[in-house]
Structure 1
Amino acid sequence: STIGAYGKTNAYYLRQYENWQKFGGEVSLWRYSARFDNYFVPSDSISSMQSVYRAAAKYSADNFADQGVSGTTVAANFNALKIYLKSKLAKNVNEDIDTLLKNFCNAYYGAAGEKMYAFLLAEQAWLKTLSEKVKEDTGADKTGCHIICNSDLFNAKYWDDTPSGVLIKKYDASMLKGWYSDYIEAALDLVAENSEYAKRIRIEGIAVRYMIYAVYNDDSYGDFSRIAADAKLLGITRFAEGNSFTNTESYERDGTIDNLS
């Protein structure tokens, strides 16, 4: 879950997979489509998903596991979308991804489909920018790749979209708060308040609210206690597969939603 979705990192692992194939025998491929140690931290496993499935098909992987969220049937960070994409790509690795994304959003979020699709694209674009920012600051590792560490994901610098060259006195949550108002709240305005569509949108909003507080200690959209309570009402029972990595702790507490606060 700490590997970036872009650039040389995935290419490096593809080369290793190709090399292992040369030895013959049984070769397995295993990836994560969810950030296993904190489901509330945005994670873009969608951008690289099709290329991974194509590689598995091309090299006839004996076993292919694409592990997502476990321990909870409800999760944020477009978990339902990822499950949908996996089911489609498992049958046809050459599906048109953008068409799948649009079809899913329109069906899953109803009248708010276009707004949630726009949110997905905005999040993907920023995660790619974040990846480049980390690379600029930390450089490449010995493989020629760059690794995004968990601690980077709670660094206020990397969630501030102030343009380069503009003097920054203090990093703030304006971009994340903009995501919530421009996409989540705007999407909620397009659907019935107590509808299943609204519930699904609020589930995605949980992750944005979490980051606003975890990274910036800004409780405009709730502190951990309130976010945890709202998450439970939406059916979320865990925010990590096992012990969690958070803004203050490294794998010290079990990821049950009650431990978020």
Structure 2
Amino acid sequence: MTFILMTITFSAQAFTLIGSDIATYKDPNIKVYVGSQQCTNLADSPEELLDLVSEANERFWNGIATSELVLEVGSTKSVDASFYTDQICNTGAGCVPEVDSGILIVCNTNGSTFGGNVLAVTLPNNVSGNTIHGSVIALNDTASSPLLNDSRDEKISVIAHEIGHAIGLGHSNFKDSLMYYANIDNREALGQDDWDGATFLYPKEQGAMAVCGTIEDISNPQNGSKLWFSMALMLLILAGFHLTRRFKSLN
């Protein structure tokens, strides 16, 4: 039974993580801020970008019943000017500074950051071990940015996709997923893979009858009670099967 559950659980998870190890925010209530400086080429004001963030949160990430994840709209934030001009790369010379906390969205004009038709780049750039403290999302604000031609709804889905990276998710191979590696127009909802990924990284405590396959740590008393319940249920099923066979043999 355990082997079957393990096989189903891992084969069903096609989502990937942003790095080689699991990294998440310690608090699943994560604030998203927008840099207060006006974009150079994109027409959206910082306040308008905050509105897009609000819609991205509510339309996509904040409705996952099996996850503790809650994306909150922060405020416009005055940040170092280098966030708008330097390269999005690991902290060092020529790279944007670390984000103190939460998620920071900025318009960025650095041509080295965006190649081809890249709409945005995200980097959790303040990470300690398995804990993300801060992530930066850079919207392509160059003169040739493909975002210049995107509709409001398309920008919302782009921001939602980048928030997915900021919280620890990589790309998905499923086209119905928000985290699919290629941009798809008119994205309106999460796919099952997105749902599973957010649940994996920020799980909500489930009751004993939750319809999911998990591997429990029985050293935790609470998890142990779930295990005993499952074992008792299995014993009842086996007992019923045995009694049915015995009744048939007597007749």
TM-score bracket relative to the smaller structure: under 0.3
Q: Comparing both structures, which one devotes a greater share of its residues to strand?
A: 2
Larger-Rg structure: 2
Q: TM-score, normalised by structure 2?
A: 0.22
Q: TM-score, normalised by structure 1?
A: 0.21
